[in-house]
Structure 1
Amino acid sequence: MNSMNRLAAMVSLAALFPLVIQAAETKGNVEVVHYWTSGGEAKSVEVLKKIIEKDGFTWQDSAVAGGGGSAAMTVLKTRAVSGNPPTAAQIKAPDIQEWGRLDLLASIDDVAKANNWDSLLPESVAQIMKYEGHYVAAPVNIHRINWLWLNPVVLKQAGISDVPTTLDELYAAGDKLKAAGFIAIAHGGQAWQDTTIFENLVLSVMGVDGFKKAFIDVDDSVFTGPKMIEVFNALRRIQSYLDPDGNGQDWNLETAKVINGKAGMQIMGDWAKSEWSAAGKFADTDYICVPFPGSQGAYSYTIDSLAMFKLASKNDTPGNIAARNDLAKVALEPSFQYVFNQNKGSIPVIKGLDMSRFDSCAQASAKDFAAAEKTGSLAPSMAFNMSTSQAVQGAVFDVVTHFMNDKSADAGKAGRQLLAAIKAAQ
Structure 2
Amino acid sequence: MNVLKPSLLKKAIGGLAIAASLGGTAHAGEVEVLHWWTSGGEARAVGMLKELMEKEGHSWKDFAVAGGAGDSAMTVLKSRAVSGNPPTAAQINGPEIQEWGELGLLGQLDSVAEQGNWDVLLPGVLSNMMKYDGHYVAVPVNVHRVNWLWANPKVLKEAGVEMPTTWEEMFAAGKKIREAGYTPLAHGGQPWQDATVFETVVLGTGGPEFYRKALVELDPEALKSDTMIQSLETFKRLRELMDDGMSGRDWNMATSMVINGDAAMQLMGDWAKGEFAAADMTAGEDYLCAPAPGTENAFVFNTDSFAMFRVSDEDARAAQQDLARLILEPEFQEAFNKVKGSIPARPDVDMSEFDKCGQQSMEDFKESRQEDTLLPSMAHRMALKSDVQGAIFDVITNYFNSSDMTAEQAAERLVNTANAAM
Q: Name the TM-score class by shorter chain.
A: over 0.9
The alignment status of 1:270 with 2:270, answered yes or no, reads: yes
**Partner SS, residue 142 of structure 1:** strand
Indicate if the aligned counterparts of 1:4 and 1:102 stay in contact, CA closer than 8 A. no
Could you tell me how far apart the structure 1 residues matched to 2:25 and 2:47 are?
20
Give the conservation status (yes or no) of the 8 Å contact 2:5–2:387.
no
Task: Give me the identity figure in percent.
Answer: 49
Question: Does residue 317 of structure 2 align to residue 321 of structure 1?
Answer: yes
Counterpart of 1:114 in structure 2 is 115
- State which of 4, 8, 12 in structure 2 corresponds to 1:5: 8
Partner SS, residue 53 of structure 1: helix
Which residue identity lines up with residue 217 of structure 2 in the other structure? D
Instruction: Name the residue aligned to 2:246.
Output: 246
- Which residue number corresponds to residue 101 of structure 1? 102
In the other structure, the counterpart of 2:54 is: 53
Which residue matches 1:370?
Answer: 366
Aligned to 2:44: 43
What letter is aligned with 1:171? F
**Counterpart secondary structure, 2:169:** helix
- 1:365 is matched by which residue type in structure 2? S
Where does residue 237 of structure 1 map in the other structure? 237
8 A contact 2:281–2:287 mirrored in 1:
yes
Corresponding position: 1:81 with 2:77: no
Tell me what 2:172 maps to.
172
Structure 2 distance, partners of 1:290, 1:145, is 11
CA contact (8 A) 1:188 1:246 kept: yes
- Corresponding residue of 2:213: 213
The whole-number CA distance in structure 2 between the counterparts of 1:91 and 1:242 is 31
Residue 22 of structure 1 deviates from its aligned partner by 4.9
Q: TM-score, normalised by structure 2?
A: 0.95
Q: CA separation of 1:10/1:197 partners in 2, compared to 1, >3 Å: closer, same or farther? A: farther
Runs (5+) with no aligned partner, structure 2: 15-22
Is 1:284 aligned to 2:284, yes or no?
yes
Distance 2:135 2:269 in 1: 30
| Structure 2 residue matching 1:265: 3-state secondary structure | strand
Cα distance in 2, alignment partners of residues 118 and 98 from structure 1: 22
Aligned counterparts of 1:342 and 1:265: Cα–Cα separation in 2:
22
Question: 1:318 offset after TM fit, Å?
Answer: 1.0
How far the C-alpha of 1:180 sits from its partner, in A, is 0.8
Mark the CA change 1:21 to 1:9 in structure 2 (over 3 Å): closer, same or farther.
closer
What SS class does the counterpart of residue 244 from structure 1 fall into? coil
Tell me the SS of whatever aligns to 1:264: strand
Shift of residue 237 of structure 1?
1.1
Q: C-alpha displacement at 1:220, in angstroms?
A: 1.1
User: Following TM superposition, by how much is the alpha carbon of 1:352 offset from its aligned partner in structure 2, in angstroms?
Assistant: 2.2
Equivalent position of 1:15 in the other structure: none
Match of 2:334 in 1: 338
| Equivalent-residue separation in structure 2 for 1:38 and 1:67 (angstroms) | 9
Q: Secondary structure at the match of 1:188?
A: coil
Letter matched to residue 346 of structure 2: I
* Alignment match, 2:72: 71
TM-fit CA distance, 1:422: 3.2
On the 8 A contact 2:9/2:82 being kept in 1, the answer is no
Deviation sequence 1:215-270 (CA, Å, 0-9, x none): 22221111111011101110121111012211100000110010000000000000
Deviates more, 1:215-224 or 1:130-139: 215-224
Name stretches of at least 5 consecutive residues in structure 1 with no aligned partner: 12-18
Please give the alpha-carbon distance, in whole angstroms, between the structure 1 residues aligned to 2:116 and 2:262.
Answer: 47
- The one-letter code sitting in structure 2 at the alignment partner of 1:416 is E
What is the rounded CA distance, in whole Å, between the counterparts of 2:313 and 2:413 in structure 1? 50
1:424 Cα deviation from its structure 2 partner: 2.5
| Runs of 4+ with >3 A deviation | 6-11, 19-23
Q: Tell me the number of residue pairs that the alignment of Structure 1 and Structure 2 aligns.
A: 411
Greater Cα offset, 328-337 or 113-122? 113-122
Give the TM-score, by structure 1 length: 0.94
Q: CA RMSD in A?
A: 1.7
SS in 2 for 1:284: coil
Partner of 1:16: none
Q: Aligned partners of 2:53 and 2:68: how far apart in 1?
A: 28
Q: CA deviation at 1:425?
A: 4.4
**Letter of the structure 2 residue corresponding to residue 240 of structure 1:** E
Distance, in Å, in 2 between the alignment partners of 1:60 and 1:6 is 25
User: Which amino acid letter does the alignment assign opposite residue 389 of structure 2?
Assistant: Q
* Correspondence for 1:381: 377
For the residues of structure 2 that align with 1:66 and 1:139, how far apart are their CA atoms?
A: 20
For 1:20 and 1:288, the matched residues in 2 are separated by: 49
Contact 2:220 2:419 in 1 (8 A): no
Given that 2:106 and 2:308 are in contact with CA atoms closer than 8 Å, whether structure 1 keeps it comes out as yes
Indicate the residue corresponding to 1:150 in structure 2.
151
Residues 81, 22 of structure 1: alpha-carbon distance in 2 compared, 3 angstrom cutoff: closer
Counterpart for residue 392 of structure 2: 396
SS in 2 for 1:68: coil
Q: Which amino acid aligns with 2:193?
A: Q
Letter in 2 for 1:165: T
Q: Distance in 2 between matches of 1:419 and 1:50?
A: 47
Q: Please report how far the alpha carbon of residue 9 of structure 1 lies from its aligned counterpart in structure 2 after TM superposition.
A: 6.4
